[in-house]
Amino acid sequence: MTLLSRLLPLSSPRLFAMTAVTAAAALSLGVGSAAQAAPHSVDVAASGAAASTTDSPNPFAAAELDGLQARQVTMWHAGQPLSHWVLTLDEETAARSYTGGVFFLYAPATGDRGWFRNLDLMASTVKDPRQVTIADAQFVNSHPRVEVRYGDPAQPDLARTVATSTIWM
C-alpha cells in the first residue's frame, strides 16, 4: 500500500495530521523567513547602529540630486544587519501635498521604468512620499536622468516631476 493510498480519503484524520506536521516542519526550517526579514529601515548616520557595515561607498555619489537625498540604511534580516544606500525624497519634497496619483520612477531618455523598495518588496508605484525608496543604483547610474514623477504611470508625459537624479556623462 502506498503512502498516498494510506492518506486517502481526503477527509481522513491522518491527512489533517500529516498536513499539520508538514506545515510545522516547514515553519521551523525557516520557510516563513520572509516574515522575519524585519523591514525596519534605520538611518545609520542618525542612530550609530551597525557601525561595522557603514563603510560601503555611496553608489549615488556621482549623481546630482534635486529633491532626493542619499541615505545609508540598515535592514535586519534574520537578526543580521544589512546596510545599503538608497535614495529617498528629501524632507521638503516629501512634506508637499500629493493627491490624485502615484509615485513612479521614470527615465525620460529611454522611457524605462524603475522600482521602489516598499519595505522589503519591490513596487513599480507607491502612494505615500515616505515610500519613495530607490535602492537600484544600477538603474539610476545607467541613465543620464532619472525622475520621480507623480501622476498616472500610463501617461508619464502628463505626470509631475517631483525629484531628479542627473549624471553628467
- Tell me the per-residue pLDDT of 151-162, one tens digit each, with 9 for 90 and over: 999 999 999 999
pLDDT cut 90: percent of the chain above it: 51
What would the mean pLDDT of 105-120 be, rounded to a whole number? 91
In terms of pLDDT, which residue wins out, 168 or 30? 168
- Whether the CB-CB separation of 94 and 133 falls below 8 Å is answered with no
What would the mean pLDDT of 124-137 be, rounded to a whole number? 94
pLDDT at 82: 86
pLDDT mean across residues, the chain: 77
Phi, psi of 69 (to 5 degrees): -135, 145
- With 80 as the cut, is the pLDDT of residue 19 above it? no
- Whether the CB-CB separation of 67 and 77 falls below 8 Å is answered with no
Cross-strand partners of 85? 72
> Out of 2-6, 50-54, 96-100, 103-107, which region has the weakest mean confidence (pLDDT)?
50-54
Q: Where are the domains of the chain?
A: 3-35, 42-166
pLDDT at 55: 63
H or E stretch at 86: strand 80-89
